[in-house]
Each structure stands twice: as structure tokens, then as C-alpha cells.
Chain A
Amino acid sequence: GAGVSQSPSNKVTEKGKDVELRCDPISGHTALYWYRQRLGQGLEFLIYFQGNSAPDKSGLPSDRFSAERTGESVSTLTIQRTQQEDSAVYLCASSSRTGGSGYTFGSGTRLTVV
């Protein structure tokens, strides 16, 4: 596609429920990143996928968070047993393997846990 697509754009969920967020990267981009942006704060790195290599999960805040990626395409970020502190915008970005200029971000999923 022309850009990074994320769905849903907004999600309101009850505390304790599981949620799944989706990211469609730019076609041909082998690297994919998930970031979290809390209100008034910078972007926090969550997880990184590069081709078929093992993902870098060092930014995941707890074992309630997990992510998968199918080959070099779609990725899903799953948050189990959501808590109010999980409320944030979850941003996905992709880039080509050779890096060069910075990533291309999607518009994000705004998650609200009530």
C-alpha cells in the first residue's frame, strides 16, 4: 500500500478484556516497529521485527503484551487483561532493511481502557 495502515483507529475496551491491534506495513519494508505514546510523553519502543529474524521484544512492558508478524507483512499487537495504564496511542512504523531515512509511521490506534 501507499502508507502504513493501522486498525482500528480507535478502541474503547473494558478493563480486563483482551485487545488486538493490527498493522499493515508498506509493501517491501522488511522492518516493522511498534511504539506506544502516552499522553504528553514521547514514543516508547515496544517491539521490532526484521524479516525472519527473532524479534527484539525488549520494550514490551509486561507479559500481557505480545506481538506477531507473518513473514514481512501484517503484524498484530495483543494486550491481554487490559489495565487503565495501557491507555495510549499505539503506533506502528516500517522501514526498508537498508535503513537510510527514518521510518514511516501509521496514524496509530488510540486505545482507551475504561
Chain B
Amino acid sequence: QKEVEQDPGPLSVPEGAIVSLNCTYSNSAFQYFMWYRQYSRKGPELLMYTYSSGNKEDGRFTAQVDKSSKYISLFIRDSQPSDSATYLCAMRQGNTGTASKLTFGTGTRLQVML
């Protein structure tokens, strides 16, 4: 079993839809949770960063972390064609040393259609 599980998709939605992306994980030591967006032939770009459980909102994006269930989510409101990309969840145990290594999900490919 992988440490971080993520549905690879693809997920196709119409423009304007609310998108829900999710990851589950097995290591309770993870404290820091991130969502990255990766366009084709580009490196991952940080979208959202959350410490421990709770919600964080940034514009059209909301990240949720439920540590009791080992479950994280990313919501995208009013989705746009420019949101079409692969979304990777990532997490780590700490900020320094070996604990700062990120463990990634496989990524979910999202396509927002006109």
C-alpha cells in the first residue's frame, strides 16, 4: 500500500463547476500538507500549504485537512479551462532535515471543458 493514495483520474468537468480533489494517507506523522499544480512539461507549482488540521482558503481554492481521518481535499470553485492540469497532493513530517522530504500522491489529471 502506498503511503499517499490519490485517484489518477482523469476528471472532466464543465467550466464553472466545483471540483473536489482528494488524497488519503497512512502515516500519522505527516504534519504539513500541500497541493501542487503541474501543467504539461512543467515543474509542480505550489497552490496551497496547510499545517495540521483545518481549512485554508485562497481565492477560488480551498484546502481541507482532516488528520483524524487521514484525508485531505482541494476544492476549486468556478473552475476555468486554465485550471486544466495535474494536481498533486504532497505532505511531510517536519520543516528541516530528513523530515522535510515530501511524499507525493500520483496526481489527478483535471480537464475543465468550455
A→B interface (CB under 8 Å): 4, 31, 33, 35, 40-43, 45, 48, 50, 53, 56, 58-59, 91, 93, 95, 97-108, 110
Which residue of chain A lies nearest to B99 when distances are taken between CB atoms in the complex? A99
Given A45-B103, A98-B95, A101-B49, are A4 and B6 also a contact pair (CB < 8 Å)? no
Partner of A41, one of B42, B44, B96, B106: B106
Given A4-B43, A42-B105, A107-B41, are A102 and B49 also a contact pair (CB < 8 Å)? yes
A41 CA to B102 CA in the complex, in Å?
15
A-B contact pairs, 14 of them (CB 8 A): A31-B100, A35-B102, A45-B101, A45-B103, A48-B101, A91-B43, A100-B95, A102-B34, A102-B102, A105-B44, A105-B45, A106-B43, A107-B42, A110-B41
Which residue of chain B lies nearest to A30 when distances are taken between CB atoms in the complex? B96
